[in-house]
Amino acid sequence: MTLQEQAGPASGAKDVTTASFRQDVIAESMKQPVLVDFWAPWCGPCKQLAPALEKAVAATKGGVRLTKMNIDDHPQIAGQLGIQSIPAVIAFDKGQPIDGFVGALPESQIKAFLERIAGKMAGGTKELLEAAAQVLAAGDVVQAIEAYGAVLEEDPGNTAAIGALAKIYIDQGELETAKGYLDSAPDDRQNDADIVAARAALDLAEQTSSVGDIKGLEAAVAANPNDHQARFDYALALSAQGQHDDAVDALIEIIKRDRAWNDDGARKQLIQFFDAWGPMDEKTKAGRRKLSALLFR
């Protein structure tokens, strides 16, 4: 038995565990495609596949990363992926499995497999941003941060990624980190929509951090409907809790009662809401309709 055969699959591959799978495969696949070679020490075909697989991956000159997972020691991931026989190779790109094969294929077929997945790989910044937005929408903040970070590795001045990361950290209450990202945007891109929106969101977060208890503000407004400052602060508190429609309605009510209050402060605050939410957000569209209906009736 050769040293390569004793080593099992591709000796140049990184060993992955259940605990490291997220970082070594999912996160890394946001930067480049990652192959996972599922194997076991008793599997003869696994040992036959290893050198051919390693050679084919090496020929991509870093375009594809190779990892291996011993299913005897770490059966959970293989079970989740429905792997019933080995060797099995699964390709991950942008955090998702996109293709795979089972069995000890010859080198020519492995090369064809790599060429096939190359056609499925979403290349370029636009696709990276789309993938990052998808994982963020799914609620995976950690992976979203990694994905937007991958965008910045390719394009350090990308204001869409900078703005998205700033908003993530604003939502997490890490305002200084958000400021750091916004300050890193190129000087000539500070007026890009994503940066403007993130700065508006940051300003809003700083405002809302100083407003009073929402229940107390609600009681103050109920006790005196013309206490515009209390209603204004109430709108900020509502926005901070994600009650955006109610926040808009509170500011609209101030405008109805006293358009000139605080130098048109309620309308200006509405505009800041819209800037923070973004021009195409449904909350912004609905709020603008309400404001227009009031101002131009």
User: Which one of 27, 30, 34, 43 is the catalytic residue?
Assistant: 43
Write b or e for each residue in 13-51: b if 16 or more Cβ atoms lie within 10 A of its Cβ, otherwise e.
Answer: bbebeeeebbebbbbbbbbebbbbbbbbeebeebbbbbb
Residue holding tokens 């770490």? 74
User: Which one of 36, 46, 128, 291 is the catalytic residue?
Assistant: 46
198 contact partners, CB below 8 Å, separation of at least 6: 162, 163, 164, 166, 167, 170, 178, 181, 182
Distance CA 178, CA 198 (A): 9
Q: How far is CA 108 from the centre of its chain?
A: 37
Query: Which two tokens mark 215?
Result: 């229940």
Give the DSSP letter of residue 185: S
- Indicate if 138 belongs to the active site: no
Q: How far is CA 133 from the centre of its chain?
A: 5
- Indicate if 270 belongs to the active site: no
Identity (one letter) of the amino acid at 221? V
**Which sequence positions are flagged as catalytic?**
43, 46
